[in-house]
Structure 1
Amino acid sequence: MHNQTTNDIENSISLDDPQSPPSIPDGLKEEDRPVNWPSSKKWSIVVSTSLATFVVSFGSSVYSAAIPHIQARFSVSPDTALLGITLYVIGFALGPMAWGPASELYGKRRPLFLGYTLFCICQLPCALAQNMPLLLVFRFLSGLAGSSSLAILGGMYVDFLSRPAERGMSTAVFSVATFCGPTVGPIVGNLATFKLGWRWTAWLTLIGGLVFGSVAFLLTPETSEVVILRQRSKGNTSVTPSRIYRPERGISIFLQSYLTKPVRMFVREPILIFFTIYMSLAYGIIYLTFTVYPFAFVTVRGWSRMDGSLPFVGMTIGVILACIGIALHSIYYIQQSRVHVPERRLPPMIAGSIFLSAGIFWFGWTSSTSVHWLAQAAAGVFLGSGSILVLMSGVVYLIEVYLVHANSALAINNFLRCVIAATFPLYATDLLVDAGLGVGGSVIGSICLALSPVAFLFWRYGRTIRQWSKFTED
């Protein structure tokens, strides 16, 4: 890093800070700059792309409703059928390694909708699959392609939302769509499976993808000023930017930032290590509920599969409340902050760590049929809100701590978080089933409880710890 040329340093800065474009777009008129677009145009982009992302996250969990039918249709074990969720989330882990650099090199719009188009196409083989390997392959490819929206939209919003309050609100909208998708999926999936058959879990994902993806495609232009200028400069001598970025100049730097640099940061940065572990656990718990809820309400309580999906409403309520809480805290943070203090972002995470631990113990020890079902279902509000408060606050804190190195920090965080979330249900479900929801839930709850001081400790001592880092700025 110390032997980089001036051009390499410029490229590395543009890579890790989406607000620092690799060229000076002095050929654009003020009204053509994305930050000066009308508010109606900006928010139509945010809402439409968030709804399209909802379908991607919905697709990860709607499959869970089809698992018993897939077991019977293809004569496979429960663990094999569950791989449809695991591989989908593994795709979430691997996809951003390609989509992230592509968005920096070629702009946001093309890779975003290329990935989304491939995501929709992948639903066809999933809906028509006549064997388990084909279904699993295209479930993996669905996650891989659909992750383009998860990898790109954060940077896209930064391109045209200049005020912190706007960014905070866009984060809340995007988060509601992203995290409500997995909790709504089992409810809709069970209804579709009951009325139409298990293949309709894929057909519904395809229909939703085509509808919301088409709307987003029509409403979303390119948002990168550099790419807009480069497109307009072709054959137009009146557009004379001082520098027009050429992708081939920075490919090695992009690969370094998304592959080698994240690993180096992870092994050297205690902040990144502890937050990634804790956030991975919270993310894994969300996906664990897709198998634990049916066991708790269908197997133990004897409900129908349709009725057994309704307690996910509690988790959905928790997710929405958490997103509202994050948005309100962001407004308060912006109003109160006179200097850059990342630790002020952590109070919601402290609350979330309490909610998450309490929700797990609550859910486990109210699982007996002698306890009213509503008591157990209410635990979902705490599970949903706790998980989201930990995840969203963690992401925002990492961004504010690492600033120009945030892309690299989030790349390794996302990869490990998705890998752990993908595999967590495979072994944690066995623990809960074999040991019982009370004992098994206590084991997982104890792990959450052991990690819950992370947010408080970094809120209290974060500034001191940041001073040890080579990747942070005080």
Structure 2
Amino acid sequence: MTMTPTTSTRTSPYSQLRDTQFGHLVRFLSGYKYLRYPDEVDPSLWRKAMARDDTIKPNMQSDEREKPVDTTDQTTNASSANNLNSGDGDGARTSQGHFVEDGKDVHLVDWYGPDDPENPQNWSSNWKLLVTLQICVLNFAFYIASSIYVPGEPSIMAEFGVSETVATLGLSLFTLGYGTGPMFLSPLSEMPTIGRSGIYFWTFLFFVLLQLPTGYAVNMPMFLVFRYITGFLGSPALATGGATIADIRAKRLRKATGNKRLKSQSEIDAAHHTLRDDLVVLGRAFTLTFFEPIVFLWDLYTALLYGVLFTWFESFPLVFGGVYGFDTQEQGLVFLGIFVGGLVTLPLFMLWIRHGIVPKFTQPTFKPEMVLPPAFFGAASLPVCLFWYGWSARKSVHWMVPIVGSSFFAVGIITLFNPVMTYLGIAYPKYAASIFAGNALFRASFGAIFPLFARQLFQRLGIGPGNSLLAGIAVCFMPLPYIFYKNGVKIRHMSRNARHDV
């Protein structure tokens, strides 16, 4: 159905402030008198939209749907709007008929028109960029909370009187926490009765608050417990998106009108969810991870690289503290090499996406495997980084040389992880959240276990041979991106869960 545009597509600073958590707080404290939505100021917006729309039925399987009730009655826009306000009557009807859910007509709350400013597709480019940047900063802040701990391990050992292995648990448990968290929290966010917004906001709020008891822990067990809990609670920032605007709008309109028939599509679907359906959602992340060959292979590869990454981080204090005599603060600065590598690589990667991938998305010949070519370069960059860094880390070589070598890890991670995650999302769009949650568990498990033997590895083998061993692991999986690029279509058609239409 084509609707007449009812609102401007312009995104104002006023609306941007209103949709923040601060804006919601202002609305609540003012009794919803300030920062009002357009449909609260002008109720004709939703009245006209609802009067035009058909009443709908839930999105169920064809054999479970109730048959439409034929009707020849026609109602005017005015009478339909009156029914919406009162919540009485048979609901809005069109010449196409209406559907009954549990004996009641249900009105679908959707966009007010193609130019609805709350539709993210109509947001201004600057607003889209700002939202994306906020998500990137949020993820950056969370990820850095794991790796930034490594230079502080000697201080932990001195303060609590623990061994190197026990001190490393602070990194391992945090990593394990943000791996196990999405396995439970991401599938829960897919349940319409729970949604994303609450999980996203409250878990991250407690992640921030619990940094205080973590920082002021009085003993090592207390410190380790809170490291795991904060990792678990912060994980939705990495794997869960925000609530759908339709859910928020439907709740707001029900409160404003008193009409309980106004529902979003996810709320309509939720009415027909059973406990068994919810358990299936929770189990999906596990089953797809371990019983879907495509997912398992990519998860294993990325997990091994994650383990290599955190094992490699453990060598930094040995190299820059032991070989080059850097103090704790100076050791923290050596990670800038990786940061610079990312700054150089990311713009080039984004240009490739813009000019090499985006134009192909709308073409009928597009295949998910088309996003994989950068992974060829990424898979090769990782062992180059490890060989360079490992064999240049000696007193006779300037400390800048291994730092330059470390920058190639950022090159490899960006050009490998992003195409792989994009590929999985396109190949399994229906189960993307569960697959990403499973991938997070796989990566975090390896990232938690590998550092526990990292110090012993480098102390017994040495920095050069130890990094060569890690590079050998990366070399073993180098052909995987190319194999899927050449044979991915055939492999996907062997799976019952992957897409077969592209």
TM-score category by the smaller chain? Answer: 0.7 to 0.9
Aligned-partner SS, 2:306: helix
1:438 equivalent to 2:464? Answer yes
Q: Which amino acid aligns with 2:350?
A: A
8 Å CA contact 2:111, 2:119 repeated in 1? no
1:315 equivalent to 2:338? Answer yes
Q: Aligned runs of 1:44-123 on 2, under 5 Å? A: 44-104=130-190, 105=192, 106-123=194-211
CA shift for structure 1 position 358: 0.8
CA shift for structure 1 position 287: 2.2
8 Å CA contact 1:108, 1:224 repeated in 2? no
Q: Deviations over 1:251-285 (max 9, x none)?
A: 543432342x2333334333212211111122223
Of the two structures, which has the highest relative contact order with CA contacts closer than 8 Å and spacing of 6 or more?
1
Q: Deviations over 1:415-440 (max 9, x none)?
A: 11111112111123321221011111
User: In the alignment, which of 275, 278, 281 is matched to residue 257 of structure 1?
Assistant: 281
8 Å CA contact 2:239, 2:433 repeated in 1? no
Q: Which residue is equivalent to 1:179?
A: none
Q: Aligned runs of 1:282-431 on 2, under 5 Å? A: 282-331=305-354, 332-337=356-361, 338=363, 339-431=365-457
Aligned-partner SS, 2:394: coil
1:138 equivalent to 2:226? Answer yes
Q: In 2, Cα distance between the equivalents of 1:242 and 1:450?
A: 48
Q: Which residue is equivalent to 1:26?
A: 110
Identity over aligned pairs, percent: 28
Q: Deviations over 1:382-429 (max 9, x none)?
A: 112112322111111111112213223222211111111121111233
8 Å CA contact 2:182, 2:239 repeated in 1? yes
Q: Which amino acid aligns with 1:240?
A: L
Q: Which residue is equivalent to 2:29?
A: none
8 Å CA contact 1:315, 1:384 repeated in 2? yes
Q: Which residue is equivalent to 1:206?
A: none
Q: Which residue is equivalent to 2:295?
A: 272
Q: Deviations over 1:448-467 (max 9, x none)?
A: 10111111111111111112
Larger mean Cα displacement after TM superposition, 364-373 or 24-33: 24-33
Q: Which amino acid aligns with 2:327?
A: S
Q: In 2, Cα distance between the equivalents of 1:33 and 1:25?
A: 13
Q: Aligned runs of 1:226-245 on 2, under 5 Å? A: 226-237=247-258, 240-241=262-263, 244-245=267-268
CA shift for structure 1 position 5: 6.9
CA radius of gyration, larger in: 2
Aligned-partner SS, 1:6: coil
Q: Which amino acid aligns with 1:289?
A: W
Q: Aligned runs of 1:188-203 on 2, under 5 Å? A: none
TM-score scaled by length of structure 1: 0.76
CA shift for structure 1 position 90: 0.9
Q: Which residue is equivalent to 1:215?
A: none
CA 247–71 in structure 1, closer or farther in 2 if over 3 Å, else same: farther
CA shift for structure 1 position 377: 1.3
TM-score scaled by length of structure 2: 0.72
Q: Which residue is equivalent to 1:225?
A: 246
Q: In 2, Cα distance between the equivalents of 1:432 and 1:40?
A: 47
Q: Deviations over 1:85-107 (max 9, x none)?
A: 11111111111133313433334
Corresponding residue pairs, total? 391
Q: In 1, Cα distance between the equivalents of 2:368 and 2:325?
A: 48
8 Å CA contact 2:169, 2:224 repeated in 1? yes
Q: In 2, Cα distance between the equivalents of 1:267 and 1:89?
A: 20
CA 9–428 in structure 1, closer or farther in 2 if over 3 Å, else same: farther
CA shift for structure 1 position 333: 0.9
8 Å CA contact 1:363, 1:380 repeated in 2? yes
8 Å CA contact 1:83, 1:136 repeated in 2? yes
Aligned-partner SS, 2:235: helix
Q: In 2, Cα distance between the equivalents of 1:377 and 1:264?
A: 41
Q: In 2, Cα distance between the equivalents of 1:111 and 1:36?
A: 26
Runs of 5+ consecutive residues of structure 2 not aligned to the other structure: 1-58, 66-106
8 Å CA contact 1:282, 1:390 repeated in 2? no
Q: Which amino acid aligns with 1:379?
A: G
8 Å CA contact 1:359, 1:380 repeated in 2? yes
Runs of 5+ consecutive residues of structure 1 not aligned to the other structure: 11-22, 157-221
Q: Which residue is equivalent to 1:468?
A: 494
Aligned-partner SS, 2:268: coil
Aligned-partner SS, 1:284: helix
Q: Which amino acid aligns with 2:231?
A: G
Specify which structure has the higher proportion of helix. 1
User: In the alignment, which of 448, 451, 456 is matched to residue 482 of structure 2?
Assistant: 456
User: In the alignment, which of 237, 242, 264 is matched to residue 149 of structure 1?
Assistant: 237
